Structure 1
Amino acid sequence: MNSPVEFPYESFILINRSSEISIYMQISNQLINAIQRGFLPFGIKLPGTRALSIILNVHRNTIVAAYEELFAQGWVESLPNKGTFVIGKNQEKPFQIKDFEKNNLEHYPKSTGFSFKTSNILDNPFEYSNCEYIFNDGVPDIRLTQIDHHSRIYSSILKRKAHKIGQYNQDGSEFFKKNLSQFLNLSRGLPISKNNLLITRSTEMSIYIVSEILLSEGDIVLVGKLSYFSVNMIFQKAGVKIQPISIDDEGINVEEVREACKKQKIRMLYLTPHHHYPTTVTLSAKRRLELLNLANEYGFIILEDDYDYDFHYDKSPILPLASADTNGMVIYIGSFGKSLVPGFRTGFIVAPENLMIEMRKYLGIIDRQGDVLMEHVLGEMIAEGEINRYLKKSLKIYQERRDYFVSLSEQNLGEYIDFQKPSGGLAVWMKWKIPVNLMQLSRNCAQNNLFIPKTLLYQNKNLTAMRLGFGNLNLNEMDKSIEILSENIKLLS
């Protein structure tokens, strides 16, 4: 090709005049892209600024600015009386123009040029839908949160405490840890200091760190026969052997735990004693003491997840196992600010100081930056009593929703399901009295604008059950959701 003007520049330089990126930068970026991918070979002469401006239908000064950008970045050189050339050796052989498909320079590679390990264990179990009504496994309603108030606190702290927040600390905000330790002491009876706390982004992150440090391939971990799927995925990824233990109305079966310990070395027991996931039952006080004694006798770790601890309605919650642990056998994990908007939530781990030292090493690798500013906000909400006021207000609303949801379910689904009114939490565990294909029921409901994710469905030869959250639904949404569910179960029964 003798003339640089003959090159099909208009086929790969596509200008978006509504973009926030200036036109000259769009042109220079796409020219660089073409050079990097071999469409513009080293040594080729670019068109003159006037010629390229005509081809692309832009002002000549725009092309001048684009060429100046290319020169500044070292992609081209300008030779007096000769023109502008892509830096590099001239082609020894005649250059053949590659085939240009529409937008082919904008496509990112569809696959890697190297092999890597893949995991079926960590396949995303979550589903999403555009249905108007959605059941989940029991999450708060962010519409109840006082976003404006939270934002004002955030903005205020950013202004008046910037000099403190600006200092980097991979262990997070000392102010928040101090206030959170006091909060956990008062609300959960945990006699801890800030030195016993590790701040994480989520419960899953906490469990991942614990697994990396405390579990080895082949270790045996006991979990409920029905347990939280995300946690099981983390354990499986660690290469441990998961052994399920049955659950009844008092929580996990302690005698089965005892028998398992007699037969083999147990490394860890994971449980959600306050409201077991997914059945919502509370571990009895008697069994809590028995589990602590077994842990001391057989030397296994108790990983206690305080899932839904903040949401209790009928009576004061039973204190965590960690509050009665005197031998350092319990690791306590949870989330703070679950009822707040997602950006204002955080996770935490409570453990003895010697283990905390090792945990901070792992946190420094996977979340070194953290979110110190947000932790300051949460710390101030504790210090000023704002979190207690908000929890008290939201609990009243969630209790009303629980009562209405239970009443509504009894009226419309009573002949099909069996369930107990939960003492806390944001979900109801429902067992079906009749044979029903839950996946088919879910698909039928989706066609009527009600989404029931597969993670809420529990079905095998011995069990047909669902965990339905009510916390995110107002009364009108509950009416419509139960109506759709009721109508579709009648069609299948």
Structure 2
Amino acid sequence: MFPFKTSIQFDRQCNQALYLQLSNQIIQLIKNQTLAPHTKLPGSRTLAEQLNVHRKTIVACYDELLLQGWVESIPKKGTFVHPNLPVLQEQKLEGCKAFDLKKDTGFSFYKNSILPEKPKKNNKSLIYLNDGVSDGRLTPIDEIARTYRRVCSKKNVFDHLSYGSVYGNDTLRDVLVEYLNTTRGLHITKENVLITRGSQMGIWLSSQLLLQKDDIVVVGNTNYGAADATFLNQHAKLERVMVDEHGLSTRAIENLCKRQQIKAVYVTSHHHHPTTVTLCAERRMRLLNLAKQYNFAIIEDDYDYDFNYNHAPILPLASHDTNGNVVYIGSVCKTVAPVFRIGYLIASKEFVDEASKLRGYVDRQGDALLELTFADFIKSGDLDRHIRKVMKIYKQRRDLFCKLLKDQLGDFFEFEIPKGGMAVWTKLNPMYSWDHFSEVARTYNLKIGDWKQYDSANLGHNCIRIGFAAHNEAEIFELINRLKKTIGEIKNSETAR
């Protein structure tokens, strides 16, 4: 007789019912062949006495095993381990490491070498050089929570708990039409709006609809790395053009158009990523005219429209588009907090309709309650009040960071004070490399990250983005201090040589 009393352990503090704990343990004994096929299980009274549980627990356990097909009940004979269960074949590796099911896979699958692996940020003692993100501590979480509760307390909330529109919540789309027409100078209706889970979904949807293998998309010779990876993942060809103090070179784009068919141009017109320069008015108009003449799409990623410190925001290309060439992408993630995945794709109705069908394959719909919350958050003016508040704070942080960087490390870093955004495009003295700098910085708990992402074209410009918005005043002083220590050690090591 199998020693159930010593093999079965109950956790009476666990929320799981005893009969389920017992059935799961018996299943495990069957799977590892401790209980072989045809093995007769004890009667319910006998096993109940052995395990010191009520007989009903055993009956419920056997019923569960019978329902799942692990055992069979033969009238007047008893309950037996099912005779036709196949033996679970386990992989045995002689002379190799043990097979770890938590991380090892028992089948082949396709891996992607294009899409970068995101770094894990779980060491609180480290300062991470981000490329320009908002400070989550400034998020108006109380206002958002109150609005969310108010949305959930409405009588019609149950209407939004089932499947909704793949275009996104209608109320938010209506609110965005009014908001974007007012603040961005757009001329759109609800049919031009697709709600997304952030800008990246908009870029991905656009690439899927615009690009196939070997199609050409024009990007800057410095460009947003995630956009590059998205286009390359679509097997498109990247044609890089110069970026100067006035933004993308439209002359270079025109020369490309004369030689080959261009499918799309990707542009971060307001603050070019990564250099932060603004696309000038002349080039904006010229790019729109080229798009009409050569029949290509403009993917306008307006990722940080709201953050301008020296002037009012410049209206996006989409506000001047009269020919339906611009796909305008934006979000509230950067403005409020990255955790709130609310974005939008603005384009012709025909393009939005197709994008919505494609979105349905990977994301049936958005979070209707969260979308309703942000509809209220925008319409009530809370978003604009939040923007005005953080603008003042981020400007102070920009000014402090740039002053300290210039006064204390001006011999090692060259930069222009950005007119907007949340990062500084910073050039390291050509005598040094970011590779070496990154290695030494780790000694002082300073994490540089993947600095190579800023030079995909191998220009050797020796620049990276350093974000300032997410650091308060004390943290900015500490960041500068660790930069100084890193530079000091590098200089000392060179002197010693």
One-letter amino acid matched to 1:492? I
Structure 2 counterparts to residues 89-108 of structure 1, below 5 A: 89=84, 107=101
One-letter amino acid matched to 2:113? N
Report the secondary structure of 2:462's partner residue. strand
| CA–CA distance in structure 1, aligned partners of residues 88 and 396 of structure 2 | 73
Match of 2:482 among 476, 481, 484: 484
1:186 has 2:179 as partner: no
Partner of 1:147: 141
Partner of 1:124: 117
1:285 has 2:278 as partner: no
Report the secondary structure of 2:426's partner residue. strand
**Is the Cα–Cα contact under 8 Å of residues 332 and 351 in structure 1 kept in the other structure?**
yes
**Is the Cα–Cα contact under 8 Å of residues 303 and 333 in structure 1 kept in the other structure?**
yes
| CA–CA distance in structure 2, aligned partners of residues 405 and 17 of structure 1 | 57
Provide TM-score, normalisation by structure 2.
0.88
- CA-to-partner distance for each residue in 1:83-122, whole Å, 9 max, x for gaps? 321234499xxx999999xxx9995583133x33332112
- CA-to-partner distance for each residue in 1:361-398, whole Å, 9 max, x for gaps? 11222111321111100111122111111111111111
| CA–CA distance in structure 2, aligned partners of residues 221 and 385 of structure 1 | 38
Structure 2 counterparts to residues 334-373 of structure 1, below 5 A: 334-373=330-369
Structure 1 residue 152: deviation in Å? Answer: 1.4
**Is the Cα–Cα contact under 8 Å of residues 4 and 45 in structure 1 kept in the other structure?**
no
| CA–CA distance in structure 2, aligned partners of residues 373 and 422 of structure 1 | 37
**Is the Cα–Cα contact under 8 Å of residues 46 and 85 in structure 1 kept in the other structure?**
yes
One-letter amino acid matched to 1:212? Q
C-alpha distance 263-18 of structure 1, shift in aligned 2 (>3 A):
farther
| CA–CA distance in structure 1, aligned partners of residues 459 and 173 of structure 2 | 47
Match of 1:135 among 116, 129, 137: 129
State percent identity of aligned pairs.
Answer: 39
| CA–CA distance in structure 2, aligned partners of residues 330 and 97 of structure 1 | 56
One-letter amino acid matched to 1:185? N
Partner of 2:61: 66
**Is the Cα–Cα contact under 8 Å of residues 429 and 467 in structure 1 kept in the other structure?**
yes
Match of 1:87 among 55, 66, 82: 82
**Is the Cα–Cα contact under 8 Å of residues 444 and 485 in structure 2 kept in the other structure?**
no
Partner of 1:295: 291
Structure 1 residues not aligned, in runs of 5+: none
Report the secondary structure of 2:153's partner residue. helix
Moved more, 139-148 or 63-72: 63-72
**Is the Cα–Cα contact under 8 Å of residues 31 and 88 in structure 2 kept in the other structure?**
no
| CA–CA distance in structure 1, aligned partners of residues 122 and 472 of structure 2 | 19
Match of 1:444 among 437, 440, 443: 440
Structure 2 counterparts to residues 11-410 of structure 1, below 5 A: 19-35=14-30, 40-48=35-43, 59=53, 62-79=57-74, 82-89=77-84, 107=101, 110-113=104-107, 115-132=108-125, 133-160=127-154, 161-166=156-161, 168-170=163-165, 171-410=167-406
One-letter amino acid matched to 1:462? G
| CA–CA distance in structure 2, aligned partners of residues 90 and 278 of structure 1 | 59
| CA–CA distance in structure 1, aligned partners of residues 152 and 479 of structure 2 | 42
- CA-to-partner distance for each residue in 1:429-453, whole Å, 9 max, x for gaps? 1011242231332232223222221
- CA-to-partner distance for each residue in 1:11-46, whole Å, 9 max, x for gaps? xx6665654434432332243355457664443223
One-letter amino acid matched to 1:31? I
Structure 1 residue 219: deviation in Å? Answer: 0.5
| CA–CA distance in structure 1, aligned partners of residues 36 and 158 of structure 2 | 51
Report the secondary structure of 2:489's partner residue. helix
Partner of 1:432: 428
| CA–CA distance in structure 1, aligned partners of residues 368 and 89 of structure 2 | 53
| CA–CA distance in structure 2, aligned partners of residues 431 and 153 of structure 1 | 43
C-alpha distance 110-96 of structure 1, shift in aligned 2 (>3 A):
closer
Report the secondary structure of 1:332's partner residue. strand
| CA–CA distance in structure 2, aligned partners of residues 78 and 150 of structure 1 | 57
| CA–CA distance in structure 2, aligned partners of residues 178 and 206 of structure 1 | 19
Structure 1 residue 181: deviation in Å? Answer: 1.2
Structure 2 residues not aligned, in runs of 5+: 93-97, 492-497
Moved more, 18-27 or 199-208: 18-27
| CA–CA distance in structure 2, aligned partners of residues 399 and 97 of structure 1 | 63
- CA-to-partner distance for each residue in 1:267-303, whole Å, 9 max, x for gaps? 1110101111111111111111111111112112111
| CA–CA distance in structure 1, aligned partners of residues 44 and 100 of structure 2 | 24
Give the aligned CA root-mean-square deviation in angstroms.
3.0
| CA–CA distance in structure 1, aligned partners of residues 304 and 394 of structure 2 | 12
**Is the Cα–Cα contact under 8 Å of residues 142 and 339 in structure 1 kept in the other structure?**
no
One-letter amino acid matched to 1:135? L
| CA–CA distance in structure 2, aligned partners of residues 98 and 190 of structure 1 | 61
Partner of 1:471: 469
1:453 has 2:446 as partner: no
**Is the Cα–Cα contact under 8 Å of residues 275 and 424 in structure 1 kept in the other structure?**
yes
| CA–CA distance in structure 2, aligned partners of residues 9 and 109 of structure 1 | 31
Structure 1 residue 462: deviation in Å? Answer: 2.8
Structure 1 residue 131: deviation in Å? Answer: 4.3
**Is the Cα–Cα contact under 8 Å of residues 91 and 99 in structure 2 kept in the other structure?**
no
Structure 1 residue 305: deviation in Å? Answer: 0.3
